[in-house]
Amino acid sequence: MRKFFIILLVLVANITLAQTNKTFVDVSYITVEGKSIFNVEPDEIYLKIVINENHDKKISLNKLEKSMFRVLRELKVDINDNLICKDYSTNLKKHFFKSSDVKQKKEYELKLTNPTITSKVILALKNIKIPNVSVDKLRSTKYDAYKRKALIAAIENAKQKANEMVKTLGVTLGKPLFIAETSLNVDNPYSKKMSSYSRYNMDYSVSEVMVVETPVLNFENIEIESKVEIVFKIED
């Protein structure tokens, strides 16, 4: 009896599966893929700033930090809202004939809004002996809006391809039977270490940085890609 019950369950499962897979068996259909790509200029640039105290030059972490705050304020950067400390660590080294040497390090994240001010900030920080600066990621405040546009454009692309295919066959394109978003890239962080500014004159004060012809960084646009798969009914 138990064996019969198990066989019955298997038969029911197979029938259910067959019904599920029968979606388009009774109709003529065509499957197409649509794709679209939008390139969006980033308007949020995130810098990673690492400050290490320098015992050899007797520059403390606190002194470097205060210099950074001063420079950013002079460059009109809102440090209250756009600067956050992400990590603070100490490295304790013991020597046989020396006292313990404690080296401190802090990592900051700074949000900026355009390449021009980003270039000036990087140059000014290098001038106060904070060279460890890199672009951590790029974002766009218009990302969600362009993501929706990319999806609509991908659907239109699929419909256009389907129309061209059935027109060649001499039949008519019917209503969509199935649609799925197969690929939509997420927020595209852009990580890249900054190239050295050593080829430029670094002997600028902050006031001079504001007016000097600072080399402006060029950032790649954020690529938003959308893909869809659509099954259309074919009318006779």
Q: Is the pLDDT of residue 93 over 90?
A: no
Domain boundaries, the chain: 23-42+140-192+214-236, 44-139
Q: Which is higher by pLDDT, 146 or 88?
A: 146
Q: Say if pTM beats, i.e. exceeds, 0.75.
A: no
Same fold, 23-42+140-192+214-236 and 44-139: no
Report d(CA 177, CA 23) in Å as an integer.
9
| Neighbour-count burial of 109, counting CB atoms closer than 10 A to its CB (0-12 exposed, 13-18 middle, 19+ buried) | middle
Q: Which of 4-13, 28-37, 39-48, 223-232 has the lowest mean pLDDT?
A: 4-13
* Mean pLDDT, rounded, for 86-93: 69
Among 22, 30, 25, which residue's Cα sits nearest to residue 173? 30
For 151-193, write each residue's pLDDT tens digit.
999 999 999 999 999 999 899 999 999 999 987 655 444 433 3
Topology of domain 44-139, CATH:
Alpha-Beta Plaits (3.30.70)
Instruction: Using the CB atoms, write b or e for 171-210: b if 16+ within 10 Å.
Output: eebbeeeeeeeeeeeeebebeeebeebeeeeeebebeebe
Among 35, 4, 27, 56, which residue's Cα sits nearest to residue 176? 27
Report d(CA 106, CA 49) in Å as an integer.
8
Q: Is the pLDDT of residue 114 over 80?
A: yes
Which residues are registered as beta bridge partners of 223? 39
23-42+140-192+214-236 homologous superfamily: Protein of unknown function (DUF541), domain 1 (3.30.110.170)
User: What local confidence, expressed as pLDDT, does residue 35 receive?
Assistant: 96
Q: Which is higher by pLDDT, 213 or 230?
A: 230
Instruction: Report in angstroms the alpha-carbon separations of 26 from 1, 14, 19, 29, 157.
Output: 38, 19, 12, 9, 26
* Mean pLDDT, rounded, for 91-100: 51
Express as a percent the part of the chain with pLDDT over 70.
69
For 61-73, write each residue's pLDDT tens digit.
889 999 999 999 9
User: What local confidence, expressed as pLDDT, does residue 91 receive?
Assistant: 62
| Neighbour-count burial of 72, counting CB atoms closer than 10 A to its CB (0-12 exposed, 13-18 middle, 19+ buried) | buried
Q: Residue 235 contacts by C-beta under 8 Å, 6 or more apart in sequence? A: 171, 172, 173, 174
E strands, 113-167, where? 133-139
Among 49, 50, 53, which residue's Cα sits nearest to residue 103? 53
Instruction: Determine the residue type at 102.
Output: V
Residue 201: pLDDT band (50, 70, 90) is: very low
Paired tokens of 199: 């080829």
Q: Is the pLDDT of residue 199 over 90?
A: no
Report d(CA 129, CA 232) in Å as an integer.
63
For 25-81, write each residue's pLDDT tens digit.
678 999 999 999 999 989 999 999 999 876 556 778 889 999 999 999 999 999 999
Torsions phi, psi for 27 (to 5 deg): -130, 155
Q: Which of 94-103, 113-122, 162-171 has the lowest mean pLDDT?
A: 94-103
Q: Is the pLDDT of residue 24 over 50?
A: yes
User: What local confidence, expressed as pLDDT, does residue 181 receive?
Assistant: 92
User: What local confidence, expressed as pLDDT, does residue 61 receive?
Assistant: 86
Among 24, 31, 27, 23, which residue's Cα sits nearest to residue 235? 27
| Neighbour-count burial of 44, counting CB atoms closer than 10 A to its CB (0-12 exposed, 13-18 middle, 19+ buried) | middle
SS3 of residue 160 by DSSP: helix
User: What local confidence, expressed as pLDDT, does residue 19 receive?
Assistant: 42
